Amino acid sequence: LNMDYFKKAMEPVEQCLKDSNLPKSAIAEIVMVGGSTRIPKVQQLIQAFFDGKELCKSINPDEAVAYGAAVQAAIVSGQGSAEVQNMLLLDVAPLSLGIEMAGGMMQTLIERNTTLPTNKSQDFTTYEDHQTFVDIKVYEGERGMVKDNNYLGKFTLKDIPKALRGIPKIKVTFNIDSNGILEVTAEDQQSKQKSEIQITNEKGRLSQVDIERMLAEAEQYKGEDAIGRGDMIAKEELKTFASRTRKALKDIDASKIRERDRELLERKLTELGEWLEKGAFKAGKEEFEAKQKELEAAMAAIMMRINQGPDFWEQQIAVHEGEKTIAQGGFLLECGIDIRDLIEEPQ
């Protein structure tokens, strides 16, 4: 009747070994502490898991738990003998901690099992042109998308100087002290504007049961999460490239670019924007990358036309049957030259 519960009790043991990167043979002694270790079936399963290794049952399970809690309390409060103060007890982050990125991706700053206390920083930037504020949403969990993780809180960094997307430099810092209190700060490196949030263990944090459930789900959906994250990264890279292309097109001197070239690229950018808005929901990494390569080829053709000068493009080369121009999704310029022949191989 209780076999499912007994097997479930073995999951933390397996996870502990996995997190420590130690083989079973490297475990010198198996000490049984905690009331449930008195159950014969639990002892049998643990012994079998460690290939029949003898268990250490000489310690009172209940006293061991109480003793450990007392030692931890003495260390944190600074009380107790010198012997206690010289003891080192390490606490770790039970789940990874991070913030939400564009597209709902989880960007981890503190990895699971990081020793506490800890302090980690990372630089971020804005998502849109002339953005004057950013919302920092904090999550814990192991999944690739924040919707599958646990939301902890949000704060806003305001009064960011207006600039094009990608220009502002915003430093986000996660700090966890010895009491497990998380403090997240965000600072704009130019204006020195700063904002922060403090999250305690009692504020929206998960129970041990919830943590174990989330770890199991992360392992179960690991493959799907990797694919989904790859798709989202490719989509965001495409959007960033389109934004830079649009800006570059505006900066090109009107006397150096043919009007039909400008109209062609503007039309491609408009079509791409509409596709991203309405038809890209089911698209995958390959489709986003193909769209980006198509846009790169169109932009490269214009830049080569500008750099080579008008005389170079007056020549005409026969176009073979089945070959397509860049406007049709191929690699040929209107004069018949294959754009791939003009691109130098990297040294």
Strand order in the sheet with 106-110: 106-110, 97-100, 134-140, 150-157
Residue 134 and residue 262 in contact, taking contact as beta carbons nearer than 8 Å: no
pLDDT in tens, 132-187: 999 999 999 999 889 999 999 999 999 999 988 888 999 999 999 878 889 999 99
Q: Give the residue carrying structure tokens 């600072």.
A: 187
| Backbone phi, psi, residue 182, to 5° | -95, 130
pLDDT in tens, 218-247: 888 788 777 787 888 888 888 888 888 888
Give residue 108's pLDDT band: very low, low, confident or very high (50, 70, 90): very high
Residue 195 and residue 186 in contact, taking contact as beta carbons nearer than 8 Å: yes
Query: Does the predicted TM-score (pTM) go above 0.75?
Result: no
The pLDDT score that the predictor gives to residue 252 is 80
